[in-house]
Chain A
Amino acid sequence: MLKMTHLSKVYRTEVVETYALRDFNIDVKEGEFVAVTGPSGSGKTTFLTIAGLLETFTGGEYHLDGVEVSHLDDNARSRIRNEKIGFIFQAFNLIPDLNVFDNVEVPLRYRGMKAPERKQRIMDALERVGLASRAKHYPAELSGGQQQRVAIARALAGSPRLLLADEPTGNLDTQMARGVLELLEEIHREGATIVMVTHDPELAARAQRNVHIIDGQVVDLAEDPRFHTAYAAAAGQVRG
């Protein structure tokens, strides 16, 4: 589904070059649920933005659903984002001017879907996240957990094959975080591929596979005991 080989991403400013990712290799199979962990600034978000075609990369290769994406133009990338990928952000990123229904509708409109089908899908998605009764509410009128569930509904409504979540529970308390995770697990059971960045080892533990990023590179924790302490310390810091 998602395969990066020797991928690198350099942020250039006038004074410095930052390697956000270097010689980055990952292979996520169709239908997998992968949790990505790593210390702050290690490149997790960068990985997700490149995976989600929000950004281009500097070197290496990236095959998404079997297609090498570096040659695609802006419109083609927009279409892939719209049809194949669902995003869930840490800050929810609902559009504050639009009510819940209109927020969920945004990606469907960009797909050019007809109104009756849009409505059907929106109500189905809201039903699933348990917010059908809040369709006319505005984001500011909802709790953080509810807003994130709206964001999930928005990602779900287009039935994406790949769901990318950047610390989806980072702004939520434990109970709400558990609710969101259960929702993701359910979506995964129905066949979607999920890549979730998280700080929370407990949540990460519930994924099928854990990928750990340090300094822009994937490290295999199981095979490299040197990182065990660092990993535990980082995780403890976040929880404490």
Chain B
Amino acid sequence: MQISPILAALRYHKAGVVLIAMQIALTLAIVCNAMFIIHQRLVRMDKPSGVEESGLLVVKNEWAGKPATGQIASLMAADLDTLRKMPGVANVYATNTYPLSNGGFANGIGHSPDKRNYVSVTAVYFSDENTLSTLGLKLVEGRNFNADEINGLGDNDKIAPAVIIVTRELARRLYPDGSALGKTAYISNEPSIIIGIVDRLQIPWVDNSMARWADCSTLLPFRNLVTITHYLIRTQPEEIEDVATRVRATLYATQRLRVIRPKDGVKTFAQVRAAAYKSDRGMAILMGVISVILVATTAAGIVGLASFWVGQRRKQIGVRRALGATRQDILGYFLTENLLICMAGVVLGGLLAIGLNLWLMKQFEMERIAPGYVLAGVAMLLLLGQCAVFAPAWRASHVPPVEATRSV
């Protein structure tokens, strides 16, 4: 409609215009990036671990009194036997670490013993013949470990597995041009034969820096005979709480010389997942709260300034009405005025958003923001502006024409 006279009039309200446009620009820049961060965190939190999580229980056991490797072997065998016999328990195995635990170790894996020539980094999971069914992993090629392939691994023993099971992603990296099944790979100085491939198994860490190999895991046929052991227990999902409350006492009843911490010695996998993604969830919530506050403040600013302007211009609104402006003309005037200010704001804000993203990419290894986020933010703020200005504009449109004749 009448853009040029609106622009001309706005030159007389520079301070307010600059203030609101800046506020919109900042809001756009921050909210776009916040939404992008939230989306990334949600995507990360949504990543499947490959594990059948419901009904899975983790017990962290620490043997007291520094028992020898041989002793640990028999203690562990007794524990596994005890756990397996507990009502509600379907399967169990002992391991060094598990997905989302945020602990454990990783190694290079490749086509030669030379560590510098590895093809990929891989998480190392010590496993036995019960691992696949306890975790609920999906074997897509090959076979499971046999019981007689599982060896004890003491503190000072060399790791040199004859056979390994790898994830599909790791298999693809090792042998991009064909099946990895039956082929060899070096995770130690000796060759290991890949006897099985599982669909998916996430590494213990969820950090962004390890996202590149987050699905590269290797199962090694060892029972880790060290003082700290994790028992992973598959229960009937409806009995998990019951097993969780009994398991600590049951284990203590067989052997007292151990520590299972009351606070976090027994965890459901749901708790493991919540802990792993605690900072991601926290960040997403923080970003959300900041966004809401910013948007609300900007909306309030627009309402406030528009109301002030309407009050200030009552007389000239009356004059315009006297000269033939309809209510819709006045409403349109204020909506258009707001749109113009908001457009200046979003142009600046769009550039700021990209600048902020570049800075975050440099400082915090953020990814490049998808243009959709900036465009959605632009649309949202333009809409926000129109909604915020509507009530003051509506009041302006109802200033009676007779206002023109009232003396100032």
What is A's interface to B at a CB cutoff of 8 Å? Answer: 45, 48-49, 52-55, 74-75, 78-79, 81-83, 87, 89-91, 93, 95-99, 102, 105-107, 109-111, 154, 158, 166
Contact = CB atoms under 8 A, between A and B. Distances in A.
A109 B326 CA distance: 12
B376 interface: no
A74 B327 contact: yes
B178 interface: no
Contacts of B326: 74-75, 78-79, 110
A83 B324 contact: yes
B221 interface: no
B326 to A, nearest CB: 4
A49 B400 CA distance: 11
A120 to B, nearest CB: 17
Contact of B401 (A54, A97, A106, A154): A54
Nearest to B326: A78
Contact of B324 (A79, A90, A105): A79
A55 B401 CA distance: 7
B408 interface: yes
A98 B322 CA distance: 17
B8 interface: yes
List the 9 closest pairs (A to B, CB-CB), nearest first. A82-B324, A97-B9, A107-B323, A110-B324, A54-B401, A97-B12, A54-B402, A78-B326, A55-B402
Nearest to A154: B323
B324 A97 contact: no
B8 A97 contact: yes
A91 B323 contact: no
B5 interface: yes
Given A49-B405, A81-B323, A93-B315, A110 B400 contact: no
Given A54-B404, A89-B405, A81 B322 contact: yes
Given A95-B316, A97-B12, A99-B8, A111 B324 contact: yes
Nearest to A81: B324
In the complex, which of the residues B316, B327, B407, B408 has the most CB atoms of chain A within 10 Å of its own CB atom? B316
Contacts of A111: 324
Given A54-B402, A75-B328, A95-B9, 5 more contacts: A78-B326, A79-B324, A93-B404, A97-B11, A97-B13
Contacts of A87: 322-323, 404
A51 to B, nearest CB: 12
Contacts of B404: 54, 87, 89, 93
Q: Which has the most chain A C-beta neighbours within 10 Å: B5, B323, B328?
A: B323
Interface residues of B, number: 27
Given A78-B321, A95-B319, A54 B8 contact: no
Interface string B135-179: 000000000000000000000000000000000000000000000
Contacts of A93: 315-316, 319, 322, 404
B325 A78 contact: yes
Contacts of A75: 326-328
A36 to B, nearest CB: 14
A106 B323 contact: yes
Given A81-B401, A97-B8, A98-B5, A52 B324 contact: no
B84 interface: no
B115 interface: no
B320 interface: yes
Interface in B376-408: 400-402, 404-405, 407-408
Contacts of A91: 407-408
B211 to A, nearest CB: 55
Residue from B322, B325, B326, B408 with most neighbouring chain A CB atoms (10 Å): B322
A52 B319 CA distance: 12
Contacts of B400: 54-55
A110 B329 contact: yes
A48 B11 CA distance: 34
A48 B315 CA distance: 17
B245 interface: no
B209 interface: no
Contacts of B323: 81-82, 87, 106-107, 110, 154
A54 B400 CA distance: 8
A229 B407 CA distance: 29
Contacts of B325: 78, 82, 110
Interface in B20-57: none
B363 interface: no
Given A78-B326, A91-B408, A106 B320 contact: yes
B5 A109 contact: yes
Given A78-B324, A95-B319, A105-B5, A54 B12 contact: no
B237 to A, nearest CB: 68
Contacts of A82: 323-325
5 contacts: A54-B400, A54-B405, A83-B324, A91-B407, A110-B323
Contacts of B13: 97
Contacts of B316: 93, 95-97
Contact of B322 (A45, A54, A99, A102): A54
B402 A96 contact: no
A110 B402 CA distance: 18
Contacts of A81: 321-324, 401
Contacts of B322: 52, 54, 81, 87, 93
A87 B323 CA distance: 7
A194 to B, nearest CB: 17
A82 B324 CA distance: 4
Contacts of A102: 5, 8
Nearest to A78: B326
A133 to B, nearest CB: 19
Among A75, A81, A158, residue most surrounded by chain B Cβ atoms (within 10 Å): A81
B141 to A, nearest CB: 75
Interface in B327-351: 327-329
